[in-house]
Amino acid sequence: MSSLSSQPYKGTRDYYPAEKRIQNYIFATWRRVVQLHGYEEYGAPMLEPLEVYTAKSGQELAGEQTYMFTDRGDRVVAIRPEMTPSISRMVAARRQELGYPARLFSIANFMRYERPQRGREREFWQLNTDIFGVEGALAEAEIISLGAEIMDAFGATKDMYTIRINNRKLIDYMLSQYLGLDGVQSHMMMKLLDRKDKIDREEFTRQAVEIFGTEVANESMKRLERLLSARSMADLPADIQQSAAALEMRDLFALLLSAGVTNAVFDATLMRGLDYYTGTVFEVFDTDPENNRSLFGGGRYDGLVGLFGADPIATVGMAPGLTTTELFLRSHNLLPELMSTTEVGIVVIDNTVLGALDLAKRLRNEGVRVEVDISGRKIDKQIKAVIKKNVPFIIFVGENELAAQMYPFKDTVTTNEEVLSFERIVSNVKDRRRKDEDDEFAEFFD
């Protein structure tokens, strides 16, 4: 019988302590920022009826990427591929009981059956933030500014990322009024524009001509090229600039500028593939040439709550991803050195394990996070194990130390060592903890 593979399921990751520390650092930063803005945490089931996704998420997500099965009650269910339908369902269920604006967030994992590649996995983690009950540009400005503040909290500067913005109403106007496409053609063109950067220019042109029809393709392609070359709202044709959707976009950019978001730009090609968006859509892009990709995005989806039997409610949301955030932090050297959550490792000398365990208990009573090496190994191996675990301090405990109640106390980072009393050990550990917390918040509020 062959042995079982030690590799995780394709497209998923194992999180050993070092990787879990990075995950927890990212989660903690997300949580800290959104809670400062009054967002409340919620949770939702891992499984939903498949129809929750087929109703509005789009065929690619619901039909091709969703893990689904029939349960023992003959219900067709899906492992959640996203959170937006779930939170919309939850809001619909408590429509009259919630206080508005309702600011809600979750940090959860999802599954999508797609081809694993850099920055894209089958199991992935996201922060989901949504504001319910606010119409108009203020809600979009809040969510986009929140995204920028999250990036800033990780130490990112404005030149490290760009926020690309479009509007589904403006898209509809450009496709129908300016390009003259009918509903079917508009839908096909929207999907093509969403794939624009994933196919070569020749193939893009071929598919665009096919959508327009050969008899009008020449003039239509010129109009399309003008849209694609627009680098700001001012580059759009005059009639598009005067549309209600364009004026709404101008209000949004003004609000973002007043909030200090100076790296937001208009992008006429930004579509956001999901079908439920109804207004503003946006994506945050890394400017590093080695990681030139979308990091996360979001937008307005006013109609989704209404699918669950409640009155529709204005909603804007976004969903930063764990893996794309980690890649961004690595590409810009923004990941801090993360120590173990264990603060002290006790190295046992001279078969004094009982005394070491008693010391550990006293330290834990003072709130110090401590482990004792109970393996009976040689001292050098015990020391190497503490260092491998990235534990910041070592205490050496032997018969002489227990008799004198004075213990060699070593910093594994600086390698400094001094002999300290129990009280001084507690004080040093807590001083280090406070310093780490102060540094973290100082960086956040700089």
pTM recorded for the entire structure = 0.90
pLDDT score recorded for residue 444: 46
Burial label for 185, CB within 10 Å (0-12, 13-18, 19+), is middle
Higher pLDDT, 60 or 256: 256
For residue 128 the two structure tokens come to: 């989901």
Q: Let me know whether 356 and 398 are in one domain.
A: yes
For residue 101 the two structure tokens come to: 């604006």
In this prediction, residues 166-180 reach a mean pLDDT of 90
The last residue of one of the domains, among 331, 360, 388, is 331
pLDDT at position 234 over 50: yes
Evaluate the CA torsion angle 169, 172, 177, 178 in order and state its sign: positive
DSSP 321: B
Count how many residues are written for the chain: 446
The domain total for the chain is 2
The strand ranges marked E within 158-290 are 161-167, 264-266, 280-286
Contact status, residue 393 vs residue 429, Cβ threshold 8 Å: yes
Q: Let me know whether 235 and 348 are in one domain.
A: no
* Residue 25 domain flag: yes
Place of tokens 């109609």: 303
Q: Let me know whether 364 and 295 are in one domain.
A: no
Count of Cβ atoms closer than 10 Å to residue 418 Cβ = 11
Q: Let me know whether 213 and 84 are in one domain.
A: yes
pLDDT score recorded for residue 272: 79
In this prediction, residues 176-181 reach a mean pLDDT of 90
pLDDT score recorded for residue 232: 85
For residue 378 the two structure tokens come to: 């040689």
In this prediction, residues 112-139 reach a mean pLDDT of 94
pLDDT score recorded for residue 215: 83
Place of tokens 């920055």: 119
DSSP 5: P
The strand ranges marked E within 133-209 are 161-167
In this prediction, residues 285-297 reach a mean pLDDT of 93
pLDDT in tens, 214-227: 888 888 999 999 88
What is the average pLDDT value for the chain, to the nearest integer?
Answer: 92
pLDDT in tens, 373-432: 999 999 999 999 999 999 999 999 999 999 999 999 999 999 999 999 999 999 999 999
Q: Let me know whether 130 and 45 are in one domain.
A: yes
Burial label for 311, CB within 10 Å (0-12, 13-18, 19+), is exposed
* Residue 423 domain flag: yes
pLDDT score recorded for residue 238: 87
Examine residue 101 and say whether the peptide bond preceding it is cis (omega within 30 degrees of 0): yes
Evaluate the CA torsion angle 419, 420, 421, 422 in order and state its sign: negative
pLDDT at position 323 over 50: yes
First to last CA, the chain: 59
pLDDT at position 434 over 50: yes
For residues 151, 277, 85, 123, the Cα torsion angle rounded to the nearest 10 degrees is -50
Q: Let me know whether 303 and 379 are in one domain.
A: no
CATH code for the domain of 422: 3.40.50.800
Question: CA 250, CA 233: separation in Å to the nearest integer?
Answer: 8
Q: Let me know whether 288 and 415 are in one domain.
A: no
CATH code for the domain of 200: 3.30.930.10
pLDDT in tens, 160-171: 999 999 999 998
Q: Let me know whether 307 and 202 are in one domain.
A: yes
pLDDT score recorded for residue 119: 85
Q: Which residues contact 165 (CB under 8 A, 6 or more apart)?
A: 144, 249, 252, 253, 264, 265, 266, 267, 270, 280, 281, 282
* Residue 184 domain flag: yes
**φ, ψ for residue 406 (rounded to 5)?**
-130, 135
Contact status, residue 297 vs residue 281, Cβ threshold 8 Å: yes
Q: Let me know whether 313 and 348 are in one domain.
A: no
**Is 403 strand, coil or helix?**
helix
* Residue 289 domain flag: yes
pLDDT band at 441 (very low <50, low <70, confident <90, very high): low
pLDDT score recorded for residue 61: 64
Contact status, residue 288 vs residue 162, Cβ threshold 8 Å: no
Contact status, residue 260 vs residue 158, Cβ threshold 8 Å: no
DSSP 3: P
Q: Calculate what percentage of the chain has a pLDDT beyond 90.
A: 73
Q: Let me know whether 421 and 317 are in one domain.
A: no
Contact status, residue 387 vs residue 412, Cβ threshold 8 Å: yes
DSSP 153: H
Q: Calculate what percentage of the chain has a pLDDT beyond 70.
A: 96
Range of the domain at 349: 344-445
